[in-house]
Amino acid sequence: MVEQESLKTKVFADGADLQSITDLARDSSIAGFTTNPTLMRNAGLTDYQAFARQVLDVVTDKPVSFEVCADEGDEILRQARTIASWGDNVYVKVPVTTCAGEPLADVARQLSEDGVKVNVTALFTVAQVEKVAHAIGDGAPAYLSVFAGRIADAGIDPMPIVAQAVAMANSIPNAEVIWASPREVLNLVQANDVGCHIITMTPDLLKKRASLGKDLEQFSLETVQMFRNDALTAGLSIPF
């Protein structure tokens, strides 16, 4: 059975709920935080900078990734430098390409060489990772976010891709790979098995870590009990 304490992969909390972030900031098992525009939209946020300032007021000693909203190189550069100015623990999420599929490795290179800590996001292929890793290799600390969960959604095993990304990152200074978009707690174990440095997990997924290492016979019994209790609570019955 896998014990959570034995895992070396760092866990970053992924979300845009300020209260959840505030609570998790005090959790020693959480090594950092990430968010993105989709999570912010789902949380009903409209003032990006105000939200970021609130997050950075409570997360002072762990890395936090905030994403640019632009799709054109010069504007991405401007936004990224603005976001980076919000705090020393800020990483700026830059997409791997524009919406038209134009690579943004050179943009990541400029930022990294200027001392901006970047988190290059939406990486899906080994070729993308290789290009970005080469671009940020001599710059500031950086993250490479491989969207392993979405790769799996395409019916492709993400583990070999993440493993190759880790090997590339380990060959250059200050780069770490993030297993992004996980779908289940098993992904934490898989990330650890391939030596992935970090995994992002939503609050709902973080709660499920309590099941790591659980005896399966006991887990089976608890599941049966849950179904029975829920039937009683809902007043379900089968008529004669």
Catalytic residue among 8, 10, 93, 207: 93
Which positions ≥6 away from 109 have C-beta within 8 Å? Answer: 135, 136, 139
| Segment (H or E) for 144 | strand 142-146
- For the chain, give me the number of helices (H) and strands (E)? 11, 8
- Ramachandran area for residue 155 (φ above 0: left; ψ -120 to 50: alpha; else beta): left
Distance from C-alpha of 108 to C-alpha of 96, rounded to nearest angstrom = 9
Which positions ≥6 away from 83 have C-beta within 8 Å? Answer: 52, 66, 68, 90, 92
Query: What single-letter amino acid sits at 43?
Result: A
Q: Map tokens 């019955």 to a residue.
A: 237
Q: Comparing C-alpha atoms, which of 135, 133, 118 is closest to residue 169?
A: 133
- Ramachandran area for residue 159 (φ above 0: left; ψ -120 to 50: alpha; else beta): alpha
Distance from C-alpha of 174 to C-alpha of 220, rounded to nearest angstrom = 43
93: annotated active-site residue: yes
Question: Which residues are marked as active site?
Answer: 93
